[in-house]
Structure 1
Amino acid sequence: MTSTLISSILSSYISPTENLGRVRIPSTSYFGSSSNVRAGKRHRFKIVAKSLDLPLLPFSMSEVLVPTESKTLHLYEARYLALLDESMKRKKNMFVHFILDPISISEKATEASFAARYGCLVLIENIERLDIGALVSIRGAGRVKISRFLGADPYLSGEVRPIQDRLSYESSNEITTRISQLKESIKNLNSLEIKLKAPEDSPLQTRLFNSLNWAEDEPPVECDESFFPSLQERLSFVAFQPVSGSTQSEVSRLQQEKLKAMDMKDTVERLELSMGLIKENISSIAAKLAIQSLDIR
């Protein structure tokens, strides 16, 4: 595909939120009631591939998805429903969530320029068919790089390659220690979150704790092993989830931390960033609980 054709095609995707419709907060359980795709633990077999050809779904810079994170999309446009059908029937319930980033260009330029950033392989976990479109629950599995675009009719598709952290035997003990600390802190934060005032039907398991459970589970059999990060790398992404009662400034801060986490290539470095975020969230939730207790009195 020529660069001119690619730019022309991508320009039609520049408002992904408008195109995709509303994005809903997902259920904290990935065992849904409609047409659940994922079916628990199964025997693993080794699949290794250097690249995959997959459908691509573009989003704005404010909607980056990290591994272990879940969200629910309302898909209703014909091209996105076609992408969904392709992913279900021929792509092992997978597609790629990526950020379509407009690049600043000079006033003399005759065509728009875009960069495909922060690719994340996603697994479709649940689909609820609606009168108009479908609600699709997805889960980030691992980072990918889009090597090249392959097509755009009726939806974008491309060749993607896995991105994983550098491995270092010298840091294995440090990683083990940091992960233990992180998991304990996440459990503490989860306990604080469920104490906050919330609707009666709110689940006791938060999005953060749900992502932790998913990260510790066995990789799903559909996922190519070379595209699925190590347990340590998966756990290093768990902290980058919104917490109860987040303010707009806290949501914006989380967004910046997610971008940093996606750029990092060192698990220890990301675990350090994760711990800092968890500690801030614990302090914030504790303060809100203190205010809540004063209101009750």
Structure 2
Amino acid sequence: MTCASAVILNRTVTRTRIRDSNLLCTRNSPRPVAPHFLPFDSSTGTDMDRYRGLGFRKRCTVPRIASSLELPLLPFNINEVLVPTELKTLHLYEARYLSLLDESLLRKKKLFVHFVLDPVSISDSSGEASFAARYGCLILIESVERLDVGALVSIRGIGRAKILKFVQADPYLRGEVIPTKDVIPDSERTNKVSSKAREVREAISNLTSLEIKLKAPNEALLQTHITNSLLWAEKDPSLECDEAFIPSFAERVSFAALQPITGKMSH
């Protein structure tokens, strides 16, 4: 038995699954048994202590810095990582995630963080979370289609983000995040990286052109995932947030190269 929050991933409607027979929820349930993708029930104060494995307490001591943002956090399983430049469509229908959507649209400039929640056993006393729970991807909401049940939400991965601390667990997770970017120590290496990025971009374009030539005429105009990501990567993203969260051109192209070369986009 699994708990699921609907998501359309890679052209197929799937669900975000938590492998735990105790976490049972259905679309028709007014409130799922487990209120979060978390190993605790946030309805009681003492249950928050059980989240020490993800560093909840320790991170609360991290001071706020200039380039940090406090944003809603949307958790996914380990096999549903989203990388910068990637486009994905989610079907959100649970009340808490629709509330998250509303906050992102109305008060957070269409931004939230997509992250992998993969609780692990911590053998030492450091209180640190697993790597997957510390990092995520800053997300921009590109479009929303309201449905009779929930909403279809098109999201775009912007850049990597580090979760400094969790500041809220109910009705959905919220945390303080800072940007995580590649560090290039000097201008000479910067020029070299930029040159390599242009080579990668050219290689992707050549592969895309070859794929189009091999397609049937009625499929030639269909856009692939890698083409969509590359077109976005070539632009200068305009976001209403600290520019430190926007990756460089080279970094955006490197993530676009991770997208599937074949297969059409589906909305």
Q: Mark yes or no: TM-score above 0.5.
A: yes
**Cα separation, 1, equivalents of 2:229 and 2:147:** 26
**Cα separation, 2, equivalents of 1:198 and 1:83:** 42
Match of 1:146 in 2: 163
Match of 1:58 in 2: 75
Match of 2:88 in 1: 71
Q: Which runs of 5+ in 2 are unaligned?
A: 12-64, 124-128
- Higher fraction of helix: 1
Q: Which runs of 5+ in 1 are unaligned?
A: 1-14, 27-47, 107-112, 247-297
Post-superposition offset of 1:188: 1.3
Larger relative contact order (CA 8 Å, sep ≥ 6): 1
Match of 1:100 in 2: 117
**Cα separation, 2, equivalents of 1:200 and 1:174:** 40
Alignment of 1:105-254 (within 5 A): 116-167=133-184, 168-197=186-215, 200=218, 203-244=221-262
**Cα separation, 1, equivalents of 2:181 and 2:189:** 16
Alignment of 1:252-267 (within 5 A): none
Relative to structure 1, the CA distance from residue 150 to residue 203 in structure 2 (aligned partners, 3 Å threshold; closer, same or farther) is farther
Post-superposition offset of 1:66: 1.0
TM-score between the two structures when normalised by the length of structure 2: 0.69
Question: Which of 20, 26, 36 pairs up with 2:5?
Answer: 20
Q: Deviations over 1:82-115 (max 9, x none)?
A: 0000000000000000011121467xxxxxx865
* Contact 2:85–2:233 (8 Å) recurs in 1: yes
Post-superposition offset of 1:160: 0.6
Q: Deviations over 1:175-221 (max 9, x none)?
A: 13212211111011112333455794684332111111111112223
AA at the equivalent of 1:101:
D
TM-score between the two structures when normalised by the length of structure 1: 0.62
**Cα separation, 1, equivalents of 2:165 and 2:221:** 41
Q: Percent identity?
A: 60
**Cα separation, 2, equivalents of 1:245 and 1:220:** 28
> Given the alignment of the two structures, is residue 91 of structure 1 paired with residue 108 of structure 2, yes or no?
yes
AA at the equivalent of 2:148:
D
- The number of aligned residues is 203
* Contact 1:57–1:95 (8 Å) recurs in 2: yes
Post-superposition offset of 1:118: 3.4
**Cα separation, 2, equivalents of 1:162 and 1:216:** 20
RMSD (Å) for aligned C-alpha atoms: 2.5
